[in-house]
Structure 1
Amino acid sequence: MDHVAFDDAETYEPDEGWMRAALAGSDQFSFEWFEKPPGHSSPMHDHENEQVCLCLEGELTLHAEDGSSITLEKYDSALIESWETHAVENTGDERAVGLDVFAPGRSFDFWTDREE
């Protein structure tokens, strides 16, 4: 077994208040805990990985390239297919916390090596 204590997890803060922590995973899948301040949105993006986004606290709205959106409340989840362009926004008034599961697994290189 490979244990990752939350306090020892690798973290990354793409924007102020938007923090991600890499939890236990493998090449086949990875788990990223994240928090977003009110009003924060990731940029529209896509990736080769399938993604399940689970809302643990607050409210997260997933926006699609076609202009559609869905809002996740506590314990709601959504599947984002490979190469589906999307953004994740905290549309609530409080901090939002979520868990992303990616298959295949990925590292923070997705954000750090990204060209705008």
Structure 2
Amino acid sequence: MKSIDFADAETYEPEDGWRRVSLAGSDQFSFEWFEKPAGHSSPMHDHENEQVCLCLGGELTVYTNDGDSTTLKQYDSVWLDAWESHRVANESEEMAIGLDVFAPGRSFDFWTESDG
């Protein structure tokens, strides 16, 4: 068993107010809690990992490179295939909170060692 105390978990803040926290996981899957400030969008990106994005609070809109989009409200989720280009935006005026699940698991190296 490996326990992660949220207050002591590895944290990454790619931009002011956009914070990601690495939760318990493994090489097979990983969990990243995140907060996204009002008006913020991640850049369009893709990765080798399948991804499930779960909205825990506020609203998140997920856009794909092929023009599809969906708006997630509390407890809604979306699945993204490996290498599917996407971005996640908070188009509201309130902070949004989410949870990303990746398979296979990944670290923050995705953001720190690549163009995203």
Q: TM-score, normalised by structure 2?
A: 0.98
The Cα offsets for residues 24-61 of structure 1, whole Å up to 9 and x where unpaired, read as: 00000000000000010000000000000000000000
RMSD of Structure 2 on Structure 1 (CA): 0.8
User: Which residue of 2 is the match for residue 36 of structure 1?
Assistant: 36
Structure 1 residue runs of 4+, over 3 Å off?
A: none
Q: Map residues 1-116 of structure 1 onto 2, 5 A cutoff.
A: 1-115=1-115
3-state SS of 2:46 partner: coil
Mapped partners of 1:7, 1:32: distance in 2: 14
Mapped partners of 1:62, 1:85: distance in 2: 10
| Runs of 5+ consecutive residues of structure 2 not aligned to the other structure | none
How many aligned positions are there?
Answer: 116
Read off the aligned partner of 1:5 and give its amino acid letter: D
Q: TM-score, normalised by structure 1?
A: 0.98
